[in-house]
Amino acid sequence: MAMNEQLSLLPEIPASLSVAQVNAYLRELLEGDSTLQNLWVRGEISNLSVPRSGHMYFTLKDRQASLRCVMWRSQAARLSYMPQDGDQVEIHGSVSVYEASGQVQLYADQIRPVGEGLLFQEFNKLKQKLEAEGLFDPEKKKPLPFSPKTIGVVTSPTGAALRDMLNTLKRRYPMINVILSPTQVQGDAAPGGIVAALELLNQYIQPEVILIARGGGSIEDLWAFNDEQVARAIAASDAPVICGVGHETDFTIADFVADLRAPTPTAAAELAVPDQMEIRGILLERIEKLGLNFLDLVKQKRWDLAQMQASLLRRSPEGQLRSSRQLVDELFRQGERAIEHQIELYRTKLKGYSQHIAALNPQMILERGYALVTQPDGSVIRQRSDVEAGDRLNIQVSDGEFGVQVNDKTSK
């Protein structure tokens, strides 16, 4: 009875609808609902696929249910965080129906990791703000000294990070003074402590470089390094700052504002000083050069002398001169042999060091801001005489290489 009445009230609805009509109607209903058009949904990502179109398709699920999701290419390209199957996420978007299949879908425009949501937003907001102020500009990065004498360290006096850094410095380059400026690196007091520790070093010590470091931990543990005051103190530091916080995958605001980011505390210490093996190698190259230069000089003098004697010979009793000439020759030869022997010793030693140095990762040197310049045939450019104007050269830096052309070889 009630049913008949209803039907009679809607005489214009036909006895049956086409599938397309139902789906279009459904779509209109959903898209007219303000809640469904602007919502955050949380769940776990599964069946994520990104075909060649660049659009991102996945299913958001929890224990009871699942929901198909799409993120168009234009939005997916803007993601700062790339989700993976199994990730717990919060997704913003709108719900509608894909009419061709009748599939209800969430059209996503933002994705963020769950729980980290708030912290993550805070992080991005501060990052954008400081970036806009120019605090991360490459031109602002201060150069690092090749071999510092005094290094400031801002970290916990009891942490593993300090132990790791001191061990690394001891091994690589023990000829330095380390000044520890102790601070908490975790908890509410940490940001203020880090700022004060940095300022102490700049005020009283003026070290040539400062390491700010902390070992790995949860994102909350590392949060002091995402503090605005800490970031500003790093930017204001007179001494260049190397930041080594957490593990390779942890990025903090302090990393962005520091003059150099190191993946770990140990790496920060490695980037701060040269390896003594490098230095010993350079020393041996120099002492070999010294010997060769001297040898050249002796050979030159000997040649000059021989010329002089030849001219004398034309005027003097021959026998007498021949014996004195032999004597001088013999003396010079002895001198040369001694020097040659000395050079040979240095060479052998140098070879040992070269092998050692080759075994070290040259990437570390590049990371410190130095570049390797080579000819197309791979030979290394060491001095001005190795290049000619017009030469095309290869420059290798930490993240790859590029080509340049020599346009000027004028003296400095």
Partner 1 sequence: MSKKSDPAELNFEQAFEELQVVINELEAGEKPLEQSLTMFERGQALYQRCTDLLDKAELKVQQISDSGELNNFTE
Residues in touch with partner 1 (CB under 8 A): 147, 149, 157, 162-163, 166, 169-170, 174-182, 196, 200-201, 203-205, 276, 279-280, 283, 286-287, 289-291, 293-294, 296-298, 300-301, 339
Least Å distance, CB 301 to partner 1, is 5
Least Å distance, CB 406 to partner 1, is 23
Whether 60 contacts 85, CB under 8 Å: no
Least Å distance, CB 159 to partner 1, is 11
106 in helix, strand or coil? strand
Cβ closer to partner 1: 304 or 401? 304
Q: Which two tokens stand for residue 150?
A: 């005094």
Mutual angle of helices 276-313 and 318-359, in 10-degree steps: 170
Residue position matching structure tokens 């770990």 = 264
Strand partners, 56: 71
Least Å distance, CB 207 to partner 1, is 10
Whether 112 contacts 122, CB under 8 Å: no
Q: Which two tokens stand for residue 163?
A: 């132990």
Residue position matching structure tokens 């390797």 = 372
Least Å distance, CB 129 to partner 1, is 31
Cβ closer to partner 1: 162 or 268? 162
Cβ closer to partner 1: 219 or 287? 287
Dist CA 276 CA 402 (whole Å): 29
Least Å distance, CB 181 to partner 1, is 5
CB contact set of 41 (below 8 Å; sequence gap of 6+): 60, 67, 90, 91, 93, 106
Cβ closer to partner 1: 120 or 332? 332
Cβ closer to partner 1: 42 or 349? 349
Cβ closer to partner 1: 83 or 244? 244
Q: What are phi and psi of 140, to 5 degrees?
A: -80, -15
Pairing outcome for strands 241-245 and 260-262: parallel
